[in-house]
Homo-oligomer: A and B are copies of this chain.
């Protein structure tokens, strides 16, 4: 691939490789688990992490370009074993530009119990607009995980789903937004766990959750300078 499209993919390889550093910085992944992908805008392609490569060794060059059926189009490595799930989400949700998967500890503990995280924190209202939902149990290797993500998140405010007995998938308009959702999901899951461990967290009025969500999605950050910064 050359020309404008080649440059776009080269930039996304850089971005996706670098964003994996946020997963290790925030302790969301162990060993080679977890992965980030980005849709190539305007193309039926995505850039995704290679399978089983050390986080320290991830770089633009070993990212893998796949089509939206998960077939490798460019790259010397096998793509993430979660490629099918990422591809399904991009096919089914055209507004999604980035997908992240982790087994981050606290979020996965809620997922192991099959328990959604009710909204008792203003930070959760801001980012997730209410509860963080539970998705179904699904085996890896086909479309089941992708279907579970899409059916749970379609029409839901939350960009994160806790897949039962498994871990977290997050979506965003781009890869950076999906990574942010993964970071905030673990942060919220941890605080909610601790709050519940010693008693019952206090409710927030649903109208207040709506107001917080609306404000955060529309006012927060540097509007003029970089509209997509969050």
Contacts and interface: CB of A to CB of B under 8 A. Distances in A.
A164 interface: yes
Contacts of A139: 208, 211-212
B52 A195 contact: no
Contacts of A13: none
A192 interface: yes
Contacts of A122: 140, 165-167
A113 B202 contact: yes
A72 B226 CA distance: 18
A86 interface: no
B121 A194 contact: no
Contacts of A114: 202
Interface string A81-123: 1000000000000000000000101101110111100001111
A157 to B, nearest CB: 18
A165 B204 contact: yes
A124 B5 CA distance: 40
Interface in A175-190: 180, 183-184, 187, 190
A105 B194 contact: yes
A41 interface: no
A88 B35 CA distance: 39
B31 A112 contact: no
A219 interface: yes
A179 B220 CA distance: 23
Given A52-B222, A122-B140, A112 B30 contact: no
